[in-house]
Amino acid sequence: MNFLEERILKDAAAKPGNVLKVDSFLNHQVDVELVERIAEEFKNRYADTAVTKVLTIETSGIPIAYATARQLGVPMVFARKSDSVNIDGQMYVAEVCEPDKETSTRVVVGKRFLSPGDKVLIIDDFLAFGSALQCLCSIVDSAEAEVAGIGIAIEKGLQEGGYRIRNLGYRLESLAIVEEVDPHTGEIHFRQQF
């Protein structure tokens, strides 16, 4: 069991509907030491690729993406949801349609910030359905840049996002893959990874 899985067992709360609350250390209060360790792990796993940019989407992936970018010594870009901001100039646009929401959200990245030749490491805190991630991949494709890889802190193994993304041929590293969350006993089971 790795450090993130141990931390999840110690501090995450299992809720009905297969929900895992990690708001005490990852996506509301942020444990800086933990995030630095996650970032270090991504840096090591992608040490064989010459990453030029780290990309995430607002909001809760930003601390991990920032920490990874700092450790790699490259800029970080966070894609913005277009209803929340007025960004000038030419933009790459993609639509996120989460299966559990009725509306779709436009996601934008300024064209100035991704270029052909960029090797982009996409980072996020959670992977469930994978819609946001597919958006980011399509934006990188639009820029004729390369997805060097994807780093996820917590993948929800029961939802199809991970399967879908790996099937598309992307290299996806998830530090913890949660297979099952029991809301009654609070038990959390991880997929064994080697």
Whether 112 and 75 have beta carbons less than 8 Å apart is answered as no
Q: Does 98 bind a copy of itself (CB under 8 A)?
A: no
Residue 28 touches a copy of itself, criterion: CB under 8 A: yes
Among 2, 84, 104, 193, binds a copy of itself (CB under 8 A): 84
Site string for a copy of itself, 43-62 (x = CB under 8 A): ---------------xx--x
110 contributes a contact to a copy of itself by CB under 8 A: yes
Burial 26-62 (b: 16+ CB within 10 A, else e): bbeebbeebbbbbbebbbeebeeeebbbbbbbeebbb
11 binds a copy of itself (CB under 8 A): no
**Pairing relation of β-strands 105-110 and 91-96?**
antiparallel
Closest to 52 in 3D by CA, of 172, 149, 166, 154: 149
Binding footprint of a copy of itself on the chain (CB under 8 A)? 13, 15, 21, 23-24, 28-32, 35-36, 58-59, 62-63, 66-67, 69-70, 73-78, 80, 84, 87-88, 109-110, 112-113
